[in-house]
Amino acid sequence: MNATDDTESFSGGCLCGAVRYQLKPPLRPVIACHCRQCRRTSGNYVSATAVPRQSFALTSSDGLKWYRSSERARRGFCSECGSSLFWSADALDTISIMTGTIDGKTGLHTVAHICVADKGDYYELDPSQPQYADHHYPSPWSSRPNDE
């Protein structure tokens, strides 16, 4: 299956299948966030796309729980298998989706690494991809995908 040819929607979900979702394209280019919260919740760093909330639909939410990770954002995860799935800021009209949970090919590209001041010391970044010390960066959309 080639998801880039799929103009209908993208699907995805957690490891066990208790959380499933659909996204209507277009999807925002991918931002990788290396902040402490993203590192802890993912075990490495977070790679996320985003869509307007009206382009996001849960098709199964049996295992979905939301953890309030800061005063202005929550993180969605599966309480059955522990998959980290979503990042949602109260004030934003978009929702971020962890790219690795999307089924099949996405056709997306990583356009920025943010919060690299907090990055781990055990991996290297592609120097051709722009890096920003904190969560201030020229967003491909008007909203930030991943600040705490």
β pairing state of 94-98 and 19-23: unpaired
Closer Cβ to Zn ion, 3 or 18, answer by number: 18
In terms of CB distance, is 4 or 61 closer to Zn ion? 61
Q: Does 146 bind Zn ion (CB under 5 A)?
A: yes
Site string for Zn ion, 54-73 (x = CB under 5 A): ---------x----------
Angle at 138 between CA 134 and CA 140, to 5 degrees: 120
Helix, strand, coil shares of the chain as percentages rounded to 5? Answer: 15, 35, 50
Which member of 30, 32, 33, 85 binds Zn ion (CB under 5 A)? 33
Angle at CA of residue 126, ends 82 and 39, nearest 5°: 25
Min separation Cβ 128 and Zn ion, Å? 21
Among 32, 35, 85, 97, binds Zn ion (CB under 5 A): 35
CB of 129 to Zn ion, least distance (A): 16
Q: Tell me how far, at minimum, the Cβ of 4 lies from Zn ion, in Å.
A: 26
Nearest approach in angstroms of CB 35 to Zn ion is 3
Q: Contacting Zn ion (CB under 5 A), which of 50, 51, 64, 78?
A: 78
CB distance 18 to 60 below 8 Å: yes
Beta-carbon-side half-sphere exposure of residue 144 (alpha carbons within 13 Å): 17
Cα separation values, 77 from 42, 63, 67, Å? 10, 8, 8
Question: Contact positions toward Zn ion, by CB under 5 A?
Answer: 14, 16, 18, 33, 35, 38, 63, 78, 80-81, 146
